[in-house]
């Protein structure tokens, strides 16, 4: 699972304009080339403390950044959302996509010399799946037959994953999934050596030994630093150009400020920026070719609760979408640094993107239409609705703007409910949830299905005995027609056909206004173009450390 | 004396137990599942969440959880946090040190500036310096910590570029200057006023007059005799103002991104990372109570007229 | 008193900018009160004494300035709708982050709201939270402190141990925890501040009652056969309230700061409410970019706090001329 660091939206944290805070780094002009090893150079960046860098539990952008440097898996995702082979030389599946065969590249090794073979993959998967690991990301293995037995503790090995020979992996799935290869881009599908031991091996957790382009130079210094050096025995692809990667761990409270400040001081070669500084920074750094701006695999929505009033009708949800003036919020609150969303699946999926599919998003606002729809829905002026969001993550401002627009246009009484994220989540899942919630989603693997199925398919509601929603479809959207299309797409072997079916499904969901798209997830980065070239933002919004090079 | 200390120690234990019970009861009724969510905007997989609830005993009734907590804490083990599943001791130890360093720097500033300014003001009463000290200290106590912090950032970091805007990377002393002053200014002003007031009283006392009458110089009288006696209330005040210091530390650490327990507490509250919340609050309550005992004993030692019974 | 009393409740003004356990000099887990409370004189007050107090208060220039600032605050809060040039909640997304101008004297915020109007309305939150939280703390504290101080023994121990528990939480930490439990908003902030302030009042009152109780005129009243209730309400309480009154005045300022600090940390009143701490929190990201966003609300807080500090100072000196 890829988690996004905070939201794509307004992060109002303290500002920084200048200042070298740092003693290290040397002279900023040539820092890229003065790494210890001489050639290759040292790339330096700041991140916030990850939950884990061991593939069994690596989850958010930062953890995945490190884990992907330490481990090479079967496949990887490109920034454009393509799946490319890494250690898999050949991938084939049977007709109904329930059995997948991966042929591995021969003769590659972990950095300690252990072979990377089919057994190493099975070891990694079983290690993450077993109950005692309590992994947050093991459910990505959930499609493999035998997962529930392992996860519930009645087995220790996935019965659906086998190694008929040293370099062949055969995976049997419980349900057809023609995009299973895309799931293997997730780090939880990484191979691990025997020294990894069980998931709770603290020594390995802090200094994983892998088969990626880099290896740990020293154990993880919690809340302080992670240092990577080039893995000279990397065999899955071309060796990294960089000699060394120095990662400074920053406090989450103003990490973006520190990164920006550090970049200006020559301490970092890659940085996020605080929102209030975006426009000044763009003016300054874009002409120097140091600016990266990219729509990534994430989306921001309002989540209406479908199974209770007031948003149990299409008209009610449409009314909201027509009433919101996205452009005004983007230009006023975000200083123009967001792009309006008009789909459920983000534009990062270029071949899939159906720009304008949400009519009200693209053409709104339209006060008259919104009022008429609200009338139809039986929600006259004075109706009380709740709009809930999580505090401390920079959503306060735009949420107030949305609330004011709903009050002005529809005359509703909007009650803003701000709470810490765990409380917001519980409120979304609870029996009797009602109203609108702030919602954002980042893709785990590069497939439109990863938006449509978990967020909107009926089985993804998954209420428990008390009626608490346990799946990610917290809108409780349920449309049999949509479900069928998404399932058909999952079973479609032809990619074009799959895209068509999913596009159809997206349109149905948008006609039902299943969720209300707000803005795309747009990310901004600065990078040091004086010392490095071929720098890009990858699928996880991180720099492409394995392929960028020093000038 | 011994009896007094024993009784106070018992009371201390009662206070800490009471405070942690209040805290536990509060955390228990907070809506939301502490292990139900992940760091971003995601829900945790329900099966994993259930495994973690069992692991942390979150389905146990409140009294059971409390008893387990007390048992663990008495063994010096503050448990495992919910996010990284690392030992809370291990996570907080370096942060506690960072906060202690910041607090120590602030207290040094309090004492240095406060004592000096108060002393000058009292000795040269009604002089220009006295007026200056009185006016500055009067205004300073009107400034909330967060306003002082932002103001110092604006002037000394952004405009003058003299110190880092935030962070600890620049090390001692550069990184410490702005946060330590932010944390210290109000207390320094209060210490100065307190010092001025007590010094004035002491200077009027008989034994000081006697000292002057013996022909001792003003400097000797002030530094040797008067200062020692005027310092007692300052020590008392600094000991007791720990709660204020802790509150100030939360704000200062937030503004200056200081990797201490105050910032850890704020982040943990947002994430419902309860083991961290409980540990930080337990620390601060315990330190507060111990400091108070120390202050009382110290007071009795410094001033023999106080009876401890 | 050659050296100051450690139990002197007012070694220095205590409306410290940092919200905290105000009245730093208050006895902590003190087993015995030593020395008389400096703030409360031990004779019954008479009308002429009140006149004296008033005269001493108004002779103090700073106290008058403080009273003036408080009056200003109250007037602004009361007449906010007439004084504010704009609706403090009215957003204008076409005019966000506009610097001070003729139309918006103090500029507009990130949602295009008029800053001046928000500051004016912010005085209402400050006044309401400041007064209400202290009032509640005083009522609870006086009631429990009186019971503890007068009835002594079991009640004293019980109440004081409970007070110790609440006293041991740094105000800000305690308040954050309460708010996380009951949710954000004005009322939760009031409750949170009151819950962690009453203990100080109770201690103050108790120790001053203990000394008043031993005084000659209470002895006299007792020997004349006055009932306990009568002694407490007619003699002991009125003479023990002086330090509480001074404390309360100082601590309105502390409560105003604490309210803003909570909002600043993102756990105070809801962000749409025009409140000074909210405004500073929202402006914090714009330090060096749009400084007017945080400077003006900061000025409002500082003036308010100073008002209560000056008035508290003046009141203390007026009540107890010995301390001058």
Q: What are the angstrom distances between the C-alpha of B309 and each of B1, C33, C34?
A: 7, 11, 11
Strands A88-93 and A83-85, bridge-based pairing: unpaired
How would DSSP label each residue in B45-76? PHHHHHHHHHHHTTTS-HHHHHHHHHHHHHTT
Is the pLDDT confidence value at C7 over 90?
no
Nearest Cα to Cα of residue A380 among A315, A325, A304: A315
Helix orientation angle between A314-323 and A367-376, rounded to the nearest 10 degrees: 160
Q: What is the pLDDT of residue A20?
A: 33
Q: Are A353 and A451 in contact (CB under 8 A)?
A: no
- Residue A146 CA neighbour count, 13 Å, CB half: 15
The position carrying tokens 């992670």 is A226
Provide the terminal-to-terminal Cα distance of chain B, rounded to the nearest Å. 7
Q: How far apart are CA B59 and CA A208, in angstroms?
A: 33
Q: What is the ipTM of this complex?
A: 0.90
Q: What are the angstrom distances between the C-alpha of C139 and each of C134, C197, C254?
A: 8, 11, 18
The position carrying tokens 């200003």 is C72
Q: Are A63 and A265 in contact (CB under 8 A)?
A: no
pLDDT tens profile A482-536: 999 999 999 898 989 999 999 999 999 999 999 999 999 999 999 999 999 999 9
The position carrying tokens 């009724």 is B29
Chain C residues near residue B143 by CB distance under 8 angstroms: 17, 302, 305
Provide the terminal-to-terminal Cα distance of chain A, rounded to the nearest Å. 34
Q: Which residues on adjacent β-strands are paired with residue A50?
A: none
B161 at interface of A, judged by CB pairs closer than 8 A:
yes
Q: What are the angstrom distances between the C-alpha of A494 and each of A103, A175, A491?
A: 21, 17, 9
CA dihedral (A60, A66, A69, A74) positive or negative: negative
Q: Which residues of chain B have pLDDT under 70?
A: 1, 39-40, 302-309
Q: Which residues of chain A have pLDDT under 70?
A: 1-38
Q: Are A235 and A108 in contact (CB under 8 A)?
A: yes
C177 at interface of A, judged by CB pairs closer than 8 A:
no
Chain A residues near residue B268 by CB distance under 8 angstroms: none
> Number of Cβ pairs closer than 8 Å across A and B?
152
**Are B248 and C20 inside 8 Å of each other by CB?**
yes
Run of H or E including A170: strand A168-172
Nearest Cα to Cα of residue C37 among C212, C236, C194, C164: C212
Nearest Cα to Cα of residue A19 among B149, B158, B254: B158
Q: What is the pLDDT of residue A75?
A: 96
B237 at interface of C, judged by CB pairs closer than 8 A:
yes
By CB atoms closer than 10 A (0-12, 13-18, 19+), residue C95 is middle
Helices and strands (H and E) in chain C: how many: 13, 0
Q: What are the angstrom distances between the C-alpha of C79 and each of A167, B124, C76, C83?
A: 81, 46, 5, 6
Task: Give phi and psi for C252, each to the nearest 5.
Answer: -60, -40
B248 at interface of C, judged by CB pairs closer than 8 A:
yes
Chain B residues near residue A135 by CB distance under 8 angstroms: 48
Give Cβ neighbours of residue B38 (< 8 Å, ≥ 6 apart). A1, A3, A51, A59, A60, A136, B44
Give Cβ neighbours of residue B159 (< 8 Å, ≥ 6 apart). none
Taking the CA of residue B87 and the nearest CA in chain A, the distance in Å comes to: 11
A325 at interface of C, judged by CB pairs closer than 8 A:
yes
pLDDT tens profile A417-436: 988 888 899 999 999 999 99
Q: What is the pLDDT of residue C44?
A: 53
The position carrying tokens 């009056």 is C71
Q: What are the angstrom distances between the C-alpha of C267 and each of B36, B40, C286?
A: 21, 19, 20
By CB atoms closer than 10 A (0-12, 13-18, 19+), residue A525 is buried
Nearest Cα to Cα of residue B285 among C171, A214, C67: C171
Q: What is the pLDDT of residue A478?
A: 96
Could you give the dihedral angle defined by the CA atoms of residues B145, B148, B149 and B155, in that order, rounded to the nearest 10 degrees? 180
- Residue A136 CA neighbour count, 13 Å, CB half: 26
Q: Are A468 and A297 in contact (CB under 8 A)?
A: no
The residue among B245 and C133 whose pLDDT is bigger is C133
Q: What is the pLDDT of residue B307?
A: 55
3-state secondary structure A367-428: HHHHHHHHHHCCCCCCCEEEEEEECCCCCHHHHHHHHHHHHHHHCCEEEEEEECHHHHHHHH
Confidence of residue C152 (pLDDT cuts 50, 70, 90): confident
What six digits make up the tokens of B82? 């919910």
Q: Are A534 and A548 in contact (CB under 8 A)?
A: yes
**Are A418 and C180 inside 8 Å of each other by CB?**
no
Q: How far apart are CA B225 and CA B205, in angstroms?
A: 11
Give Cβ neighbours of residue A62 (< 8 Å, ≥ 6 apart). A5, A47, A48, A49, A50
B158 at interface of C, judged by CB pairs closer than 8 A:
yes
Q: Are A125 and A186 in contact (CB under 8 A)?
A: no
Chain C residues near residue B146 by CB distance under 8 angstroms: 260-261, 264, 277, 280
Task: Give phi and psi for B285, each to the nearest 5.
Answer: -65, -45
> Number of Cβ pairs closer than 8 Å across A and C?
73
Taking the CA of residue C41 and the nearest CA in chain B, the distance in Å comes to: 19
Give Cβ neighbours of residue A537 (< 8 Å, ≥ 6 apart). A79, A292, A294, A296, A523, A525, A543, A544
Nearest Cα to Cα of residue C141 among C229, C208, C188, C228: C208
Distance of CA B240 to the CA centre of its chain: 9
Distance of CA A527 to the CA centre of its chain: 21
Local structure of residue C104 (DSSP, 8 states): S
Chain B residues near residue C34 by CB distance under 8 angstroms: 306-307
What six digits make up the tokens of A522? 């747009």
3-state secondary structure of C236: helix
Q: How far apart are CA A264 and CA A491, in angstroms?
A: 50
Q: Which residues on adjacent β-strands are paired with residue A90?
A: A103
Q: What is the pLDDT of residue C46?
A: 61
Q: How far apart are CA C196 and CA C198, in angstroms?
A: 6
Q: What share of chain A is helix, strand, coil (3-state, %, to 5)?
A: 30, 20, 45
A365 at interface of B, judged by CB pairs closer than 8 A:
no
Chain C residues near residue B246 by CB distance under 8 angstroms: 20, 170, 172-173
Local structure of residue A146 (DSSP, 8 states): T
Q: What is the pLDDT of residue B304?
A: 61
Q: Please identify among residues 119-158 of chain A the ones whose CB lies closer than 8 Å to any CB of chain B.
A: 131, 134-136, 138-139, 151-152
Q: Are C18 and C1 in contact (CB under 8 A)?
A: no
pLDDT tens profile B125-138: 889 999 999 899 98
**Are B158 and A251 inside 8 Å of each other by CB?**
no
Nearest Cα to Cα of residue A158 among A181, A180, A189, A185: A189
**Are B31 and A223 inside 8 Å of each other by CB?**
no
By CB atoms closer than 10 A (0-12, 13-18, 19+), residue C135 is middle
Strand extents, DSSP E, A199-274: 214-216, 225-230, 244-250, 270-271
């Amino acid at each position: 699972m890829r988690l996004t660091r905070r939201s794509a939206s307004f992060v109002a944290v303290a500002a920084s304009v200048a200042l070298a805070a740092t003693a290290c780094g040397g002279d900023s002009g040539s820092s890229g080339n003065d790494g210890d090893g001489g050639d290759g150079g040292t790339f330096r960046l700041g991140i916030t403390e990850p939950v884990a860098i061991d593939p069994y539990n690596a989850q958010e952008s930062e953890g995945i950044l490190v884990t992907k440097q330490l481990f090479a898996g079967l496949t990887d995702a490109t920034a454009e959302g393509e799946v490319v082979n890494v250690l898999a030389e050949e991938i084939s599946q049977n007709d109904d996509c329930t059995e997948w065969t991966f042929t591995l590249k021969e003769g590659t090794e972990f950095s300690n010399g252990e072979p990377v073979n089919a057994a190493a993959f099975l070891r990694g998967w079983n290690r993450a799946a077993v109950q005692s690991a309590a992994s947050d990301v093991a459910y990505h293995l959930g499609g493999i037959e035998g997962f529930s037995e392992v996860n519930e503790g009645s087995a220790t090995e996935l019965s659906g994953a086998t190694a008929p020979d040293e370099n062949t992996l055969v995976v049997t799935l419980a349900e057809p999934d023609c995009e299973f290869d895309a799931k293997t881009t997730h780090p939880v599908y990484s191979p691990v050596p025997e020294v990894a031991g069980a998931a709770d091996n603290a020594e390995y957790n802090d200094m994983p030994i892998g088969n990626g382009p880099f290896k740990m130079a020293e154990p993880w210094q919690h809340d302080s630093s992670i240092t990577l050096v080039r893995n000279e025995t990397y065999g899955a692809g071309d060796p990294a150009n960089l000699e060394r990667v120095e990662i400074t761990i920053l406090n989450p409270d103003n990490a973006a400020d520190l990164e920006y400040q550090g970049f200006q001081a020559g301490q970092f070669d890659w940085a996020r920026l605080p929102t209030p500084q975006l426009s000044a920074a763009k003016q300054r750094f874009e002409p120097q070719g140091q600016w990266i701006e990219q729509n990534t695999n994430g989306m921001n929505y309002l989540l209406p609760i479908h199974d209770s009033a007031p948003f149990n009708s299409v008209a009610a949800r449409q009314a909201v979408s027509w009433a919101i003036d996205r452009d005004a919020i983007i230009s006023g609150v975000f200083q123009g640094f967001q792009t309006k969303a008009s789909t459920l699946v983000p534009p990062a999926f270029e071949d899939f993107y159906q720009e304008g599919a949400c009519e009200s998003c693209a053409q709104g606002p339209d006060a008259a239409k919104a009022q008429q729809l609200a009338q139809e829905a039986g929600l006259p002026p004075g109706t009380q609705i709740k709009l809930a969001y999580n505090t401390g993550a920079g959503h306060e401002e735009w949420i107030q703007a949305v609330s004011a627009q709903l009050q002005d246009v529809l005359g509703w009484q909007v009650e803003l409910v701000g709470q810490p994220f765990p409380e917001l989540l519980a409120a979304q899942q609870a029996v009797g949830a009602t109203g609108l919630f702030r919602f954002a989603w980042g893709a785990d693997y590069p497939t439109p299905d990863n938006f449509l199925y978990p967020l909107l398919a009926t089985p993804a509601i998954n209420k428990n005995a008390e009626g608490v929603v346990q799946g990610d479809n917290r809108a409780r959207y349920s449309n049999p027609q949509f479900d069928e299309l998404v399932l058909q797409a999952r079973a479609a072997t032809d990619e074009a056909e799959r895209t068509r079916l999913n596009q159809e499904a997206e349109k149905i969901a948008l006609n039902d206004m299943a969720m209300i798209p707000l803005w795309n997830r747009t990310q901004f980065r600065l990078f040091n173009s004086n010392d490095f070239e071929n720098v890009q933002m990858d699928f996880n919004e991180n720099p492409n450390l394995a392929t960028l090079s020093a000038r | 004396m011994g009896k007094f200390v024993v009784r106070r120690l018992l009371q201390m234990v009662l206070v800490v137990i009471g405070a942690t019970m209040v805290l536990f009861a509060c955390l228990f009724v907070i809506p939301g599942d502490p292990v139900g969510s992940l760091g971003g905007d995601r829900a945790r997989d329900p099966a994993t969440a259930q495994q973690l609830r069992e692991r942390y005993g979150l389905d146990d009734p409140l009294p059971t959880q409390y008893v387990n907590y007390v048992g663990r804490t008495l063994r010096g083990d503050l448990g495992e946090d919910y996010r990284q599943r690392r030992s809370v001791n291990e996570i907080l130890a370096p942060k506690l040190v960072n906060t202690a360093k910041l607090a120590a720097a602030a207290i040094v500033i309090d004492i240095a500036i406060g004592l000096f300014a108060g002393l000058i003001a009292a000795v040269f009463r009604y002089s220009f310096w006295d007026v200056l000290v009185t006016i500055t200290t009067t205004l300073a106590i009107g400034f909330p910590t967060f306003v002082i912090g932002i103001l110092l950032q604006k002037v000394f970091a952004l405009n003058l570029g003299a110190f880092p805007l935030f962070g600890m990377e620049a090390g001692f002393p550069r990184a410490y200057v702005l946060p330590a002053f932010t944390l210290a200014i109000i207390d320094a002003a209060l210490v100065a006023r307190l010092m001025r007031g007590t010094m004035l009283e002491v200077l009027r006392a008989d034994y000081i007059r006697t000292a002057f009458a013996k022909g001792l110089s003003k400097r000797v009288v002030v530094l040797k005799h008067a200062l020692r006696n005027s310092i007692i209330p300052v020590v008392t005040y600094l000991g007791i103002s720990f709660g204020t210091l802790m509150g100030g530390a939360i704000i200062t650490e937030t503004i200056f991104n200081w990797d201490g327990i105050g910032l850890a507490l704020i982040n943990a509250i947002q994430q419902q990372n309860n083991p961290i919340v409980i540990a930080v609050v337990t620390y601060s309550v315990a330190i507060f109570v111990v400091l108070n005992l120390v202050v009382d004993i110290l007071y009795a030692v410094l001033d023999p007229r106080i009876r401890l019974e | 008193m050659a050296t100051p009393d450690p139990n002197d409740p007012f070694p220095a003004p205590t409306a410290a900018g940092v919200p905290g356990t105000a009245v730093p000099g208050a006895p902590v887990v003190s087993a015995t009160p030593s020395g008389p409370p400096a703030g409360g004189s031990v004779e019954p007050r008479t009308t002429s004494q009140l006149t004296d107090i008033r005269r001493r208060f108004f002779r103090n220039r700073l106290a008058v300035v403080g009273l003036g600032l408080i009056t200003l605050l109250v007037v602004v809060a009361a007449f906010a709708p007439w004084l504010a040039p704009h609706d403090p909640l009215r957003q204008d997304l076409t005019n966000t982050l506009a610097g001070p101008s003729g139309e918006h004297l103090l500029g507009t915020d990130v949602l295009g709201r008029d800053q001046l109007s928000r500051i004016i309305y912010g005085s209402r939150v400050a006044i309401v939270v400041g007064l209400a939280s202290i009032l509640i703390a005083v009522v609870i504290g006086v009631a429990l402190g009186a019971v503890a101080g007068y009835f002594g023994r079991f009640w004293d121990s019980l109440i004081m141990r409970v007070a110790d528990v609440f006293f041991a939480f740094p105000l800000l930490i305690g308040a954050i925890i309460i708010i996380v439990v009951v949710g954000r908003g004005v009322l939760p902030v009031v409750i949170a501040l009151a819950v962690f302030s009453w203990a100080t009042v109770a201690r103050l009152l108790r120790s001053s009652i203990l000394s008043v109780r031993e005084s000659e005129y209470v002895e006299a009243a007792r020997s004349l056969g006055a009932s306990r209730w009568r002694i407490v309400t007619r003699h002991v309480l009125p003479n023990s309230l002086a330090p509480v009154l001074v404390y309360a005045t100082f601590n309105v300022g502390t409560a105003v700061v604490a309210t803003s600090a909570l909002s600043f940390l993102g756990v105070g009143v809801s962000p749409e409410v025009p409140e000074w701490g909210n405004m500073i929190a929202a402006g914090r990201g714009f330090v060096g970019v749009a400084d007017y966003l945080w400077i003006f609300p900061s000025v409002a807080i500082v003036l308010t706090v100073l008002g209560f500090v000056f008035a508290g100072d003046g009141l203390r000196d007026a009540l107890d001329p010995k301390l001058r």
